[in-house]
Amino acid sequence: RLFDLDPDLLPLFQYNCKQFASPQECLSAPEFLDHIKKVMLVIDAAVSHLENLSSLEEYLYNLGKKHQAVGVKVESFSTVGESLLYMLEKCLGTAFSPDMQEAWSRLYGAVVKAMRRGWDTLPEG
Q: Is residue 124 domain-resident?
A: no
Mean pLDDT, the chain cut into blocks of 10 residues (125 residues total)? 90 79 88 91 93 92 92 91 95 95 95 89 55
**CA dist., res. 88 & res. 53, Å (int):** 21
**CA dist., res. 107 & res. 44, Å (int):** 11
Domain around 105: 8-119
- Structurally, how many domains does the chain consist of? 1
Q: Is residue 84 domain-resident?
A: yes
Q: Is residue 1 domain-resident?
A: no
Q: Is residue 23 domain-resident?
A: yes
Q: What CATH number did the domain enclosing 113 receive?
A: 1.10.490.10
Amino acid identity at 37 = K
Asked whether the whole model's pTM tops 0.75, one would answer yes
The pLDDT value given to residue 124: 53
- Exposure pattern of 16-45 as b/e (b: 16+ CB <10 Å)? eeeebeebeebeeeeebeeeeeeeeeeeeb
The pLDDT value given to residue 123: 57
The pLDDT value given to residue 122: 55
> Which residues contact residue 41 at a Cβ distance below 8 angstroms, ignoring those fewer than 6 apart?
none
Q: Is residue 125 domain-resident?
A: no
Q: Is residue 2 domain-resident?
A: no
Q: Is residue 80 domain-resident?
A: yes
Please answer whether residues 62 and 118 qualify as being in contact, where contact means their C-beta atoms are separated by less than 8 angstroms. Answer: yes
Q: Is residue 90 domain-resident?
A: yes
